[in-house]
A = this chain, B = another copy of it.
Amino acid sequence: MNDRDLIEAALFVAGRPLTLLELESIASIDADVEDLVESLVAEYREKGPLEIVQTDEDVVMQVKGEYADAVRTIAQRDLETPVLRTLAVIAFHQPVTQSKVAEIRGNKAYGHVHELEARKLVESEPYGRTRLLRTTKAFADYFGFETDSLEEIKQRIGLLLR
């Protein structure tokens, strides 16, 4: 049982991005986790329909873009449609207050924001009596934006809207 295999197994079962810290916690004490991740990223890039992607502190195993649509129906739905819609509203109007989002989406939006924050797709900061919401780097990664600039993301969504 070597560290490289352990990291690969962990990324497989997690189904979500893992931090380097999480990966270190399962590898042996003297493992160079960053090196091992790099070598896995390279191996997966080489062949097969899966990829391992590292962004800042996070590492995730997922289906390569060109295969995504073909197997999307097989995948368990990740975000429920109502949550996804709330996310859409946040992404398009950001930075946007939680109360504004609730006004557009109804009171269920509070639960959705909670879930989106837990998934690290949205982050918030206090803003008067409500909170100001914006999308995260993880959001940009997840939806395949090359940038995490809020302005550019809003613009691209605007284009899609036409």
Contacts and interface: CB of A to CB of B under 8 A. Distances in A.
Interface of A: 1, 5-6, 8-10, 12-16, 18, 22, 26, 48-50, 63-64, 66-67, 70-76
A15 B71 CA distance: 12
Given A15-B15, A63-B13, A1 B70 contact: yes
A134 to B, nearest CB: 26
8 contacts: A1-B70, A6-B71, A8-B50, A9-B49, A9-B71, A10-B74, A14-B76, A26-B71
A9 B15 CA distance: 13
Contacts of A76: 13-16
